Chain A
């Protein structure tokens, strides 16, 4: 992460990490999560779900900061974010 000025309490701060879960069959491909993810974690995939929509796919899993914005914006309750600890995240990836 880049800072324009190093925060004074950077040694105490811990950037939260999240893991995204996408329920592909419920997705209607509106693209809200892709458009408004502040970290650009998601992208619309080429694959189809059974309704013929393109569900999103996680392209930058390390960037997710568990802000929950995708979960709140999703009109179809098809994506959610789970907080993971940093070490755990490394194991997952």
Chain B
């Protein structure tokens, strides 16, 4: 009977459409029930499928943290890098193999605090990579410490009387550093999130998508906000779609309205464009352009 059940399960397993993108030997994943990261990975998978990209030319880079596990679970060329250094690894990958589509998939603690300098300087140079930042307002994997995105008065493991530090406004940080595409959605807006990821992947230059995701085990529990499902309902009731809003006005206070939408979508020469133009000007026809859109070396 056991074999029959196992056979049936195997049969069921082989059919799930996500399985072409997941390393099934590692599933079930470690994310808590009602975590929003799994939903975000599905949105990425659907975006990759709809764009019909050759998956051999897609690489995914993650740092450390709950979201940092994504690189280990996706069946693409993937890097699980040191804490905060996902973007430098992605930058190196992009420079060495300009034909690859490089996606950085990491959390707020990884990208914005420990890797904050890397984020702003890669955005400043407008390197052609896509960054997906899952923001759950807390350092979730290490036990719920204050993150640079924790809103004022929110409780965490290291701020039991409420946080008193000013949090980061991540879209403003990315946009003011020079990102050409900045969007924010919650884990509930799966379809719009998929569209945003598709736009970010096709955009030339540094594109940044922030995803607000529920953390039931730490953020919701320490703040007595209920389960992750309650947080999803909160996003449903309190998200305001404001396309083209000034990133200065989209900061998130504790349990405030969440402005979502596409905030920035501009055109700018990328890092490799600037490099090629500068050397072309200096050396003329002797200089062979590197990289570019078609991946010539």
Contacts and interface: CB of A to CB of B under 8 A. Distances in A.
Contacts of B228: 30
B135 to A, nearest CB: 16
Interface stretch (B39-47, B94-102, B143-151, B177-185): B39-47
Contacts of B229: 30-32, 35
A76 interface: yes
B28 A26 contact: yes
Interface in B9-44: 9, 12-13, 15-19, 22, 27-29, 31-39, 42-43
Interface extent on B, as a size class? Answer: 20 to 34
13 contacts: A21-B12, A21-B15, A23-B12, A28-B34, A30-B229, A31-B229, A32-B34, A32-B232, A72-B39, A73-B188, A80-B17, A80-B18, A82-B15
Contact of A72 (B32, B37, B46): B46
Which DSSP category, helix, strand, loop or mixed, fits chain A's interface?
A: mixed
Mostly, the B contact residues are helix
Interface of A: 21, 23, 25-26, 28-32, 35-36, 53, 69, 71-77, 80, 82
B17 A75 contact: no
Contacts of A82: 15
Nearest to A51: B28
B191 interface: yes
A27 to B, nearest CB: 9
Contact of B38 (A29, A31, A36, A76): A76
A73 B39 contact: yes
